[in-house]
Amino acid sequence: MGTENDLTVRDRFQALLGRDDAHLWLFGIGAVVLAVLPFALSTFWTRIALGALMWIGLAQSWNMIGGYAGYLDFGHGAYFGVGAFVTGIVMVELELPFVAGLLIAGVFCAVLAYVVGVPTLRLSGAYFAIATWAFAEAIKELALILEITGGTYGMTFPTGPGTSGIPLVGWPDEMFFYYLMMVLTLGTIALAYFLFEHSEFGFRVKAIRDHEDAAQSLGIDATKIKRRVYVISCVIAALFGGANAYYITFIHPNDVLAPIITDQMIIMALLGGLGTIGGPIIGGVLIFLLNRLSSLFLGNTTIYLPLIGLLIMVTVLFAPSGVIGILRGEVGREDVKQNLRELAEKFDIL
């Protein structure tokens, strides 16, 4: 019964995606559903939904540089944390509203990503991965030392009416943050779609991922394009960082700059499918629910770590194109069997 049923679902899915305006329809329907969703949910589930939205956006931002451009950024979480701290510093030290803080954080991280990107993007492969990883760890250590970030004490955000800087918003509640994250996430998805799936720019980026030298020999300015993708993806991470910080009202370098932030972005994009629009959406929802539900039902927050590690390994081994790859029929039962056979051959060590 399984195969036939699977095929019909898959066929329908493909037929749906085959239409020219399918993506627009999906996006529109998704936006409307998301807009009315909080009215149907309790406060608890609204919080879960807004968390899932944030992680979809973050995974998509990582997917831009990691999935579309093929540059494994192991320090993407640094911008999430820097965005959080800049927003906080603007709100606490300059006493400006949240909107101003978020904008300044975006601009600051754009400049930072540009300055960091120029030398770092000259590296490739493992070198780029280690460099970004070390950069993020250095930023975390710096935030622990500096006074303006609160050092090891962390930073508390101003809350209450008037702090948001958005007219008609009183005390910022779940509804406010839900719609904030919704706008940011839908904006990120739309941006990713138009940049990478619907423009010449996207073809250039993918050409660089597939063969950088060949792309360059065809006249593509790889340095410039990579830098643009890097800056855009980092600014998005920073915006989410700022929004999340205002939502949780207290931030600490060991939380918002923790390596697990980057880990999650990577596994979400990978599990869903690297270099696709749908991948980070699927991966983001699945992993975020796994995270929430494992702490909710198992009452144990650390079991999530080995689960995620295992999931990364299994995905890389058997479904490198992720859930999207399975839906598109790129990874079937035969491929997994083939994979297992080839893996078994490599155990021939005697």
What does the binding site for other proteins look like in residue numbers (CB under 8 A)?
Answer: 70, 72, 74, 119-120, 122-131, 133-135, 137-138, 141-142, 144-145, 209, 259, 263, 266-267, 270, 274, 300, 302-313, 316-317, 320-321, 339, 342-343, 345-350
**Whole-angstrom Cα distance, residue 238 to residue 78?**
9
At 157, give phi and psi (nearest 5°).
-90, 145
Choose between 72 and 181: whose C-beta lies nearer to other proteins. Answer: 72
As measured in angstroms, the least distance from the Cβ of 45 to other proteins is 27
Choose between 65 and 91: whose C-beta lies nearer to other proteins. Answer: 65
Burial state string for 167-186 with b = 16 or more CB within 10 A and e = fewer than 16:
eebeebebebbbbbbbebbb
As measured in angstroms, the least distance from the Cβ of 310 to other proteins is 5
Choose between 41 and 258: whose C-beta lies nearer to other proteins. Answer: 258
As measured in angstroms, the least distance from the Cβ of 120 to other proteins is 7
Choose between 334 and 346: whose C-beta lies nearer to other proteins. Answer: 346
Choose between 93 and 342: whose C-beta lies nearer to other proteins. Answer: 342
Tell me if 225 sits within 8 A of 205, measured CB to CB: yes
At 155, give phi and psi (nearest 5°).
-140, 135
**Whole-angstrom Cα distance, residue 137 to residue 262?**
11
Choose between 47 and 292: whose C-beta lies nearer to other proteins. Answer: 292
As measured in angstroms, the least distance from the Cβ of 127 to other proteins is 4
As measured in angstroms, the least distance from the Cβ of 235 to other proteins is 21
Q: Which residues pair with 251 in a beta bridge?
A: 155
| R_g over Cα of the chain | 21
As measured in angstroms, the least distance from the Cβ of 151 to other proteins is 9
